[in-house]
Structure 1
Amino acid sequence: MPKVVVPPLPLSGIFAVSKPSGPTSMSVLEDIKRLVGNSRLFVDACKLENRPTKGNRKRRKDTVKIGQGGTLDPLADGVLVVGVGKGTKRLSDFLDCVKEYRTTALLGCETDSYDCHGARVRDAPWRHVTKEAVEAVLDKFRGEIYQTPPIFSALKMDGKPLHEYARQGIPLPRPIEKRKVTVHSLNLVDWMGCNHDFRWPQKEFSPDQKVALQTALKSVEIDPVIQDKPDEHPGQVPTAFVLSMTVSGGTYVRSIVHDLGHALGSAAHVVTLTRSRQGGFTLDPKSEEDKSCVPWDVFEKALEDEGGPGEDGWRLWEREILDRLEIVDAQRQ
């Protein structure tokens, strides 16, 4: 195996990892930091040799800066951009860049989080929704649109997170500010119908929780009454379909699905969400300009056993990063 030629060490740069569904972005970042904080790729070799350790499994992770360029919810998988060293200063470039997503929407139920990890807030009829009806209404969500962020989010109003107003039954001081975003493309790519294994969440809002939410919204909405409209023939698996979209930074994919459910005279929430592209990083490179992601299992295996360096002098996980690293500054830090 030929040796990889690298600039003077340690390096600063940006790469992307293919995050799995389940863990938080922060936990993924902390796991990666355990590795890069002990690698001469990113830490001065003298610092690695001179610092105290307690056994091979004792890892220091405070010797290198690391950050991410846009959080993914635990439910979501796909492209997570990581900056190391001076690469962290470039991460803001990825907050406003164009992103691509693929998401599965499930009809008939909306949740507090707008996805399947939340609690059921309202059930609604869904049998009347056809593939043609979905395709016909998608144009309302293309181009420049205004989105209202979910009330069950960490966004703050007058210093208090929105979700606290909703849970405590405190009226919002003013309407949630809408955001202008751009949906460059939005397409229905798979009509799953009832042929799937997705189901509505078992957790439901209690009557008291619904009243609290109505109280929070009544000062800013004309009719915030949250009322179920149960399906007349319960028991059948509700319809699901898959959307692909290319959007500007700041776009809430969950809000698109939630608002689409309302536009269809139903309700909907997200059951899968994949970020397939963020800037130049993508899960499916199609050109020389595209940069692929480091598979998550590369880091999982290294966290269990890094193994020894290969003929090129680098461990497997280090080589995988080197193959994809966008170097920001090759000078010593």
Structure 2
Amino acid sequence: MPKDSLPPLPLSGLFAVAKPSGPTSMAIINDVKDLVNTSPLFVERGKLAAHKEGKNEKQKRRKWKSNKDMVKIGQGGTLDPLADGVLVVGIGRGTKKLSEFLDCVKEYKTTCLLGCETDSYDCQGAQVRVAPWRHVTREMVENALPVFRGQIEQTPPIFSALKMDGKPLYEYARSGTPLPRKIEKRPVTIHSLEIEEWLGSDHSFRYPEQVLSEDQRQALEKTLRSVQEDARVVDEPEEPVEDDRAPTAFVLRMKVSGGTYVRSIVHDLGHAVGSAAHVVTLTRSRQGRFTLEPTEGDMGCISWDVFKAAKEDAGPADEGGYTAWEREVLDKIETIDTSVTTASGAKRGQSSS
């Protein structure tokens, strides 16, 4: 974006980061915030100068505090630490538009591993039970998918941060405390759901090493039985066989409404084919208009490596006065033009990419 085409500084707007698997969404936001708070793109130069002067005075008075809230920043929908992909970031007035990304259509790609159920429904949890998987074929999975398409009702995982009477569900499950009532099902829309790749045993994924203890299993079963009398948490081991193949894995691609638990789809699909399953990889490939693979009309994402490198060394500014990471943001940001005024003279925001 040429300098002369920029709205008046400091900028407000939206951009997306391609989050890697591992760090939390909040850790990503905090690191981006550290950079944004030092950039003339987003902070008035007078404030930056005053901040720098205060920092220099620290050596004399020892009373200076770093101001980490010079710019308002937020994200439009958390990704689990395991997940990678599109993380929408709002800066300044852009934070007011983040709510639209909570209910927008999202696209995901996830790898499912059969034969093992975990408490978190993904590979970062502990094994809850194992079940047969060798009987499951691609055709069986494809025949089970139609039940999960369209408008469906979905039960959130028992090991989730969703609160019931002010207490996270996972606290009930871990302590064996009966639930006050059944977990309310949520209406969601699965616009599309397909097998993208059948990996079979040709992969390196394995079950989590952590296994629920007998006491933990009994606590979980006690909680589940408070809302489902016949609930049982028991292993259904595969019949002994001579080969040592890895359990079957396959990749699903889906387009879903906001509020959909991808982990629950995989968990329930495992049950539907007479097995168990959990998520081993999860990528959010699209969130609204932001996507990892942009085509005409889409907004692309900024690689996390750009911000990671800038945190270590922002490097020199170019002839326009901006560093490499700032140029990347300028190329991918959807700005909110705060200079536009109404007939009455009051300022209003206007999106422009």
Report the TM-score, using the length of structure 2 for normalisation.
0.91
Structure 2 distance, partners of 1:257, 1:60, is: 43
CA displacement, residues 80-102 of structure 1 (integer Å, 9 cap, x when unaligned)? 00001111111000000000000
Q: Is the 8 A contact 2:154 2:188 kept in 1?
A: yes
Q: Secondary structure in 2 aligned to 1:277? A: strand
1:330 is the counterpart of 2:330: no
1:180 to 166, 187, 191: 187
1:77 is the counterpart of 2:66: no
- Residue type of the alignment partner of 2:55: T
1:53 to 52, 55, 79: 55
Counterpart for residue 129 of structure 2:
122
1:236 CA displacement: 2.8
Q: Is the 8 A contact 1:4 1:312 kept in 2?
A: no
1:48 CA displacement: 0.4
Counterpart for residue 21 of structure 1:
21
Counterpart for residue 342 of structure 2:
none
Structure (1 or 2) with the larger CA radius of gyration = 2
1:286 CA displacement: 1.7
Structure 2 distance, partners of 1:139, 1:222, is: 29
Q: Is the 8 A contact 2:115 2:247 kept in 1?
A: yes
Counterpart for residue 272 of structure 2:
263
Counterpart for residue 315 of structure 1:
323
Counterpart for residue 8 of structure 1:
8
- Residue type of the alignment partner of 1:44: E
1:280 is the counterpart of 2:282: no
Q: Secondary structure in 1 aligned to 2:153? A: strand
Q: Secondary structure in 1 aligned to 2:250? A: strand
Report the TM-score, using the length of structure 1 for normalisation.
0.96
Structure 1 distance, partners of 2:309, 2:204, is: 30
1:104 is the counterpart of 2:106: no
Q: 1:4 to 1:114 in 2, by over 3 A?
A: farther
Structure 2 runs not aligned, ≥5 long: 59-64, 340-346
1:3 CA displacement: 4.6
Runs (4+) of structure 1 exceeding 6 A deviation are: none
CA displacement, residues 104-136 of structure 1 (integer Å, 9 cap, x when unaligned)? 000000100000000000100000000111111
Structure 1 distance, partners of 2:49, 2:160, is: 44
Counterpart for residue 94 of structure 1:
101
1:61 CA displacement: 2.3
Counterpart for residue 61 of structure 2:
none
Structure 1 runs not aligned, ≥5 long: none
How many residues align? The count is: 330
Q: Secondary structure in 2 aligned to 1:306? A: coil
Q: Secondary structure in 2 aligned to 1:327? A: strand
